[in-house]
Amino acid sequence: MNDTMTRAAAWLQDTLDYTFRDAGLLEQALTHRSAAGHSNERLEFLGDAVLDLVVSEHVFRAAPGSDEGDLSRLRASLVKDRSLAGIASDLGIGEHLILGSGERKTGGHRRESILADAVEALFGAIYLDAGFAAARDVIVAALGNRLENLPDPRELRDPKTRLQEWLQSRGRALPEYEMVNVSGKAHRQVFDVECRVDGDDAGARGTGSSRRAAEQQAARTMLARLQEPRGE
Q: Which one of 27, 44, 48, 192 is the catalytic residue?
A: 48
Active-site annotation holds for 27: no
Measured at the alpha carbon of residue 166, what is the angle toward residues 163 and 167, in degrees to the nearest 5? 90
SS (H, E, C) 38-69: CCCHHHHHHHHHHHHHHHHHHHHHHCCCCCHH
For residue 175, with 0-12 CB atoms within 10 Å meaning exposed, 13-18 middle and 19 or more buried, which class applies?
buried
Phi, psi torsion values for 80, nearest 5 degrees: -65, 160
Q: Which one of 27, 44, 103, 120 is the catalytic residue?
A: 120
Q: Which helix (H) or strand (E) holds 191?
A: strand 190-197
Rounded Cα gap, residues 19 and 26, in angstroms: 9
Tell me the three state secondary structure of residue 185. coil
Count how many Cα atoms sit within 13 Å of the Cα of residue 176 in the half-sphere of its side chain: 11
Rounded Cα gap, residues 131 and 18, in angstroms: 13
- Give the β-pairing of 190-197 and 176-183: antiparallel
Active-site annotation holds for 198: no
Q: Among all residues, which ones are annotated catalytic? A: 48, 120
